[in-house]
Amino acid sequence: MEQTPRANRVHIGFFGRRNAGKSSLINAIAGQTVSVVSPVCGTTTDTVEKAMELLPIGAVVLIDTPGLDDAGTLGALRVRQAKRALTHTDIAVMVIDAVAGVTPEDRKILQQLEQRHIPTIQVWNKCDQATPPAENAIAVSAATGEGVGALLAKLDSLLAGRVRRIRVLLPYGKLGEAAPMRQRGTVLAEEYRPDGVYLEGIVKAADVHRFLPWLLADE
């Protein structure tokens, strides 16, 4: 699974102000340390990308970014890095500090995501310390793990609308590999051939990597 090309992975970018908890949230979702975390504001100084298999979504790249409200000469360079990550982000997770609430900086970041037409999930982190508004947001706590499951489910539901039409030739010993197409997609054509089963169908974009060894080139 780690051999899945990055171009075929779903890129999920985490954006927000400094110290909103982006790195902590990524670590909670990944179940491992992807980014260094500390109470110091602006700990993440470079964009960090982690390719992994994230259930139930599939092959992804998690992107941790510096705070888009960083200041100063070095801060401007960090902001530039974060904005560069926007160019290859499929879905954005906008992390808002529930204790501080929505700030003008948060609204500016949301506007940038909207201008780029990037599907965005608003996540209010630190919900163990403050109560976020109920509408249009998911309450999470990177510290306790509360709400992480709901965020993963929301990401999966957004990706459900991203589909691709593919053609594969599965060897007879690999017919079980057709499950993502049969269970979560649509089989449009099926033909038994001497060297395997030809399938044409529609699958979730996140499932395409499962068929890479048997993909047929477009005619």
Q: Report the DSSP beta bridge partners of residue 152.
A: none
Residue 146 tokens read as 């509360």
Residue 171 tokens read as 């060897």
Other Cβ atoms less than 10 A from the Cβ of 47: the count is 16
**Residue type for 109, please?**
I
Q: What is the pLDDT of residue 7?
A: 64
Q: What is the pLDDT of residue 172?
A: 96
Q: What is the pLDDT of residue 36?
A: 56
Q: What is the pLDDT of residue 45?
A: 58
Q: What is the pLDDT of residue 3?
A: 56
pLDDT in tens, 172-219: 999 999 998 998 788 889 999 999 999 998 887 778 888 999 999 754
Find, among 49, 40, 108, the residue nearest to 84 by Cα.
Answer: 49
Q: What is the pLDDT of residue 219?
A: 46
Nearest 5°: the CA angle 183, 194, 178 is: 10
Nearest 5°: the CA angle 140, 130, 95 is: 40
Other Cβ atoms less than 10 A from the Cβ of 205: the count is 18
Which parts of the chain have pLDDT scores under 70?
Answer: 1-5, 7-8, 35-45, 71, 134, 161, 218-219
Pairwise CA distance, residues 82 & 94, whole Å: 13
Q: List, as one string, the DSSP characters of 14-41.
A: EEESTTSSHHHHHHHHHTS--S---SST
pTM value?
A: 0.69
The full 3-state SS of 92-122, as one line of letters, equals EEEEEECCCCCCHHHHHHHHHHHHCCCCEEE
Residue 50 tokens read as 């982690």
Q: What is the pLDDT of residue 194?
A: 96
- As a 3-state breakdown, the chain gives helix, strand, coil percent values, each rounded to 5, of 35, 30, 35
The alpha carbon of residue 97 and the mean position of all alpha carbons in its chain are separated, in whole angstroms, by 20
